[in-house]
Structure 1
Amino acid sequence: MSTAIPPLDLAWLLMETPGGTTHVGAMLLFKKPPGRRDLVSQVVANYRGRQPLPPFTYVPEILGTGVPHFREVQTWDPHYHVQHLSLPAGSSYDDLLRLVADLHEPMLDRNRPLWRCWVIDGVPGGRFAIYTKTHHSIIDGVSGLRRLYDGLSLSPDDAIPAPAFALPGPPLASSAPPPALRRLTDAVHGVLTQVGAVNQISWGAVRKALSAALGTHVEGSLPFVAGRAPTNAPLRQARGFATLSLPLEEMHRIAHHHGATLNDVAAAVIDHGLHAYLRETGQAYAHELIAMCPVSLRGDDDTTVGTKVSAMFVRLGHPEATMADRLRQVAHSVATAKKELGALSTDAAMTYAVALVALAGAGASTHLDRVGRPACNLVVSNVPGSNDIRYLHGAELTGIFPVSALAAAIGLNVTLSSYCGHMDFGFVANSAAISDVHALAEHTRKAYAQLKVADRV
């Protein structure tokens, strides 16, 4: 059986390069219960004994005379897709992060289903980790994290549940061709929908293009008007990965005090931390950074295959702003961009996303992104998490850190997700642009501490 690849999912495949990979992942940390020495090997054996289900059976077929499609395969190599690793004795948590960064670097093999999973034992503190990566063409961050949670238990006494790759997905559409009249009406509807979507987008795009060309300040969502920051160095394959956890309820209180949102607080401390890091490393950037913030278009019950996401581009704070002022500046920019994106229909928002990814991909493949304005300076994303404690074969999940993609000369992605009272940040960096992503995470933690002092939390 085969299924056509939707435009946005196809764009993720076409724009991918060895330095700009487009898979997304997560690192899950677990605390082992006492006396369970064989727990990790039991999890590995259980996972290898499962049968993957769509879309984790999909192999892309892009070249050829037919429409680009996913071919469904029935066989898989359990020892390739589910690997068992162990850190050497005496390893540190930073050693785990370096290992995850190394595993995140290479492209997924397009001759196999587009996912892999590593179960990593020997993490200090009686812990183990699971790192998994999946191509963005078959899953987005929201649906991917939902599946990871669905592959865990709500009780420590439960048996090992089916992992994300073996969970049933939504039913596939019939492969039988529709009647001629249905094809005609679908085609007409599709054309009219796209015309309407493009019409919604075009006037705002023209206004912003003129403003950018004239060098005037413009508010709202701002793609391709960012200056070239150190984070926009050409992408290389090497990656850095760091994590940070902040108290969720405290972040909510700070946001409420400033009339801001949780995401505003996160973006502001990342912004402040990045400027501090750049100054410390002799790369001070004298302008406001522009962040791309993905926006999920999925409903609460939407489990369909592929990517359903758009984006807004947000001007962050002034380089020398205090933390309190920076938060106010970020909150204002986010509110303006949200209002603009909210005025678009879902079809228009999806069309906008396809156009952005296509333009970014064209720039990356032709190296025009090295001379023109980048789409943005960094990506800041929040993927919905869970308030319920999860378990795997009796081991408690203590943290879940997104490990996201870098593409199109955007050398920093910070994705966060909440879990049981804390907000977990995953920093993924192009090592050619940010050589010490752990220092960046520490500067972000210090920025949050400054915000706490300013608010007397």
Structure 2
Amino acid sequence: MSAAIPPLDLAWLLMETPGGTTHVGAMLLFQKPPGRRALVSQVVADYRSREPIRPFTYVPENLGAGMPHFEEAQTWDPHYHVQYLALPAGSSYDDLLRLVADLHEPMLDRDRPLWRCWVIDRVPGGRFAIYTKTHHSIIDGVSGLRRLYDGLSRSPDDAIPAPAFALPVPPPTSSAPPPAVRRLTDAVHGVLTQVAAVNQISRGAIRKALSAAFGTHVEGSLPFVAGRAPTNAPLQQARGFATLSLPLEEMHQIAHHYGATLNDVAAAVIDHGLHAYLRDTDQGYAHEFIAMCPVSLRDDGDTTVGTKVSAMFVRLGQPEAAMADRLAQVAHSVATAKKELGALSADAAMTYAVALVALAGAGASTHLDRVGHPACNLVISNVPGSNDIRYLNGARLTGIFPVSALAAAIGLNVTLSSYCDHMDFGFVANSAAISDVHALAEHTRAAYAQLKLADSRDGHHAEHG
């Protein structure tokens, strides 16, 4: 069976290079219960016994010519797609992160289904991990994380559920093909809405580009107006990966106190941490960063295949701003960009994403991104998580850290997701731009501590003012 590749999903395939890979993934960390020595080998054996289900059977065909489409692979190699690894004795948590970074580096083999999974045993502290990666052309962050959660249990007593790659996809609303007239009508409507979307987007884009060229301060969503920061160094294959967890309810309280959102708090501490890291490594950047913030276009419960996403390009805080001021600056920028994106139709929002990914990919393939304005300086994404404790074969899930993509000369991606009472951050960096991503994560932790201190002082003054 073959399936057409939608434009945005095709763009992820066409723009991919060995240095700019477009797969997304996650590292799941589990705490073993006592006395279960065979627990991990049981998970591996069970996963290898499962049959993958679409889109985890898809192989891309005719990407360079003809009609690009997905074909279903007739066979799969369970030992290739589900691998078992064990850390050597004496290994540290940092060794696990280095291993995940190494596994995340190479492109997925396009002659096989576009996903892989590694079960990693002997993680310090009586733990094990699962690292999985899937090509962005068959899944996005929101639907991908939902499937990972659906592949876990809510009880430690349950057996091993079907993993993400073997979970059935919801059936289409109608299996009967539409009549020829209906197909023609849909095709014409699609062309007209795409043209209208391009017109809707292009007017604002041209206005902003002209304003930026003349040095005018512009607001809203700001693609391709960013300065060239250290994070925009040419992408190499080497990756760095680091994690960070922050208390979720405390982040909510700080956001509420400042009239901001949880996303604003996360973006502000990442922004502050990145400026501090670059100053500490003699790479100080004297301008505001512009971050791409993906926006899911999925309705609640939508687990269909493919990518349904648009994006905002948000101006972050001033380089030397204190944390409270930085949060206010970020909150203003996000609100302005969100209002602008919200004014677009759904067709325009998707077309916006397709056009930007295509432009960024063209810039990377022709190296124009090395002389012109990059699309942005970094990516910050918040993927919805879960409030419920999850288990796998009796082992408790203690953290789930996104491991996302780097492409088009954007050398830093920080994706976060909430789980139970904490927010888990996954930092993926181009090692040519950020040589010590663990230090960047610690600078982000320090930035949060500064914001927490400012919040407590402001709260104290408000109570006694």
TM-score bracket for this pair, using the shorter chain length: over 0.9
TM-superposed deviation, 1:64: 6.4
Q: State the Cα deviation string for residues 181-234 of structure 1 (Å, max 9, x = none).
A: 223212211111112211221211111111122121100000000000000000
- 64-73 vs 379-388, greater mean Cα deviation: 64-73
- Per the alignment, residue 397 of structure 1 pairs with 397
User: Equivalents in 1 of 2:265, 2:208: separation in Å?
Assistant: 27
Identity across matched positions, percent: 89
Structure 1 residue aligned with 2:233: 233
Using the TM superposition, give the Cα deviation of residue 66 of structure 1 relative to its aligned residue in structure 2, in angstroms.
3.7
How much does 1:2 deviate? Answer: 0.5
Aligned partner letter, 1:82: V
**2:313 corresponds to 1:303:** no
Whole-Å Cα distance in 1 between the matches of residues 430 and 8 of structure 2? 24
Contact residue 31 and residue 397 of structure 1 kept, 8 A:
yes
Report deviation, 1:321.
0.3
State the one-letter code of the partner of 2:433: A
More off after superposition, 70-79 vs 404-413: 70-79
Q: Provide the rounded CA distance (Å) in 1 between the counterparts of 2:173 and 2:179.
A: 15
Deviations 1:334-361 (A, max 9, x none): 0000000000011100000000000000
- Deviating more after overlay: 31-40 vs 61-70: 61-70
Give the distance between the partners of 2:69 and 2:417, measured in 1 at CA.
32
Runs of 4+ with >3 A deviation: 63-66, 172-180
Match for residue 158 of structure 1? Answer: 158
Q: For residue 43 of structure 2, what is the amino acid of its counterpart?
A: V
TM alignment of 1:344-423, pairs within 5 A? 344-423=344-423
Code of the aligned partner of 2:79:
H
Query: Aligned to 2:101, what secondary structure does the other structure show?
Result: helix
Equivalent residues in 2 for 1:270-281 (5 A)?
270-281=270-281
User: Residue 39 of structure 1 aligns with which residue?
Assistant: 39
1:65 offset after TM fit, Å? 5.3
Matching of residues 5-154 of structure 1 within 5 Å: 5-63=5-63, 66-154=66-154
Name stretches of at least 5 consecutive residues in structure 2 with no aligned partner: 460-465
CA deviation after TM superposition for structure 1 residue 74, in Å: 2.8
Report what 2:244 is aligned to.
244
CA distance in structure 1 between the aligned counterparts of 2:340 and 2:81, rounded to whole angstroms: 42
Instruction: Name the SS for the 1:416 alignment partner.
Output: strand
Any idea what SS the aligned residue of 1:413 has?
strand
Give the number of equivalent residue pairs: 457
- 1:118 alignment partner, SS class: strand
Query: Which moves more between the two structures, 187-196 or 3-12?
Result: 187-196
Q: Are the aligned partners of 2:58 and 2:70 in contact in 1 as well (CA < 8 Å)?
A: yes
State the SS of the aligned residue for 1:304: coil
The answer to whether the 8 A contact 1:156-1:394 is kept is yes
Q: Tell which deviates more after alignment, 169-178 or 328-337.
A: 169-178
SS of the residue corresponding to residue 415 of structure 2 reads strand
1:239–1:429: 8 Å Cα contact kept in structure 2?
A: yes
Q: 1:86, 1:184 → 2: CA distance?
A: 55
**In structure 2, C-alpha distance between the alignment counterparts of 1:176 and 1:108, rounded to whole Å:** 34
Q: CA-to-partner distance for each residue in 1:318-377, whole Å, 9 max, x for gaps?
A: 000000000000000000000000000111000000000000000011111111100000
Cα RMSD, aligned residues only: 1.3
CA distance in 2, matches of 1:302, 1:279: 43
8 Å Cα contact 2:63-2:69 kept in structure 1: no
Displacement, 1:174?
8.7
Q: Displacement, 1:290? A: 0.4
What TM-score results when the alignment is normalised by the length of structure 1?
Answer: 0.98
Structure 2 contact 226–374 (Cα < 8 Å) conserved: yes
SS in 2 for 1:193: helix
